[in-house]
Amino acid sequence: DTAVSQTPKYLVTQMGNDKSIKCEQNLGHDTMYWYKQDSKKFLKIMFSYNNKELIINETVPNRFSPKSPDKAHLNLHINSLELGDSAVYFCASSQALGQGTGELFFGEGSRLTVL
C-alpha cells in the first residue's frame, strides 16, 4: 500500500565507497524527485525526473548520478562518498503538470551516514 518507498532506510558506510538508494512509487505519477535534508533540517532539491527524463539538476556534484529505468523508479547512486554527504535523502513524486494539485508525496527517507 506504500505510495513512495525507499530502500534502504539506513545506510552507514566509509568515505570513498559507492552506494545506491532506490525509490519506487505506485501512484502512477510522472514526476519524481530527490531531496537532501541536512543536519539542520534544510530541505533542498537535488534532481527531478519527468517520465524518465532529467528536468532539474540543482548544482549537485557529479558524484551523484540519478537513474530512472521507468517512470515509477528513480534511483540515486553516489560515488566516492564524502563526510558531507551524510544526510537524509528523500524521494518524492507528483502528478504531471495540469493533472494534479502540485502536491509532493514523500518517501520515509534514507539516512546516510558516512564515517
Q: According to the binding rule CB under 8 A, does residue 103 interact with other proteins?
A: yes
20 vs 37 by CB, closer to other proteins? 37
Question: Strands, E, within the chain: which ranges?
Answer: 4-7, 10-13, 19-25, 31-37, 43-50, 53-57, 64-67, 75-78, 87-94, 105-106, 110-114
Q: Candidates 16-24, 65-73, 79-87, 99-107: pick the segment binding other proteins (CB under 8 A).
A: 99-107
Q: How many residues can be counted in the chain? A: 115
Q: Does 55 bind other proteins (CB under 8 A)?
A: yes
CB 114 within 8 A of CB 78: no
Residues that bind other proteins (CB under 8 A): 4, 31, 33, 35, 40-45, 48, 50, 55-56, 90, 92, 94, 97, 101-104, 106-109
